[in-house]
């Protein structure tokens, strides 16, 4: 799942290290095994890989929405209100 080894090239090649760090942060948030922190993601299951990618997209969308709104959304501890 490395940004360097697939056909989906980054638009900004200078972002490779930042994207690798972002991917690792997303994996840690999902409690994906520390085994993947070595930089080799080939032993990841398809489900784990999809979960990490989905978490990254979710965080990118939230960051963009916050940017559009002029700042982060207020925390709502009770979402059933």
pTM recorded for the entire structure: 0.68
Any domain includes 58: yes
Residue 2: is its pLDDT beyond 70?
no
pLDDT greater at residue 21 or residue 38: 21
Any domain includes 51: yes
Cα–Cα distance between 50 and 28 in angstroms, integer?
14
**What's the sign of the alpha-carbon dihedral 9, 13, 19, 20?**
positive
Range(s) of the domain holding residue 54: 13-28+46-69
Any domain includes 62: yes
Q: What is the dihedral of CA 7, 60, 44, 21, to 10 degrees?
A: 90
What is the domain count for the chain?
1
Q: Catalogue the long-range contacts made by 58-61 (C-beta closer than 8 Å, 24 or more residues apart).
A: 59/22, 59/26
Residue 1 CA, distance from chain mean position: 11
Any domain includes 80: no
Stretch 58-73: mean pLDDT: 89
Any domain includes 7: no
* Model pLDDT for residues 5-29, shown as the tens digit of each residue: 556 678 888 888 898 889 889 988 9
């Amino acid at each position: 799942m490395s940004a360097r080894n697939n056909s989906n090239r980054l638009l900004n090649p200078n972002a490779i290290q930042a994207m690798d760090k972002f991917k690792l942060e997303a994996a840690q948030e999902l409690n994906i095994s520390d085994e993947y922190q070595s930089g080799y993601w080939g032993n990841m299951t398809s489900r784990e890989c999809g979960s990490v990618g989905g978490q990254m997209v979710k965080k990118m969308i939230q960051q963009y929405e916050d940017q559009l709104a002029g700042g982060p959304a207020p925390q709502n501890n009770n979402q059933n209100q």
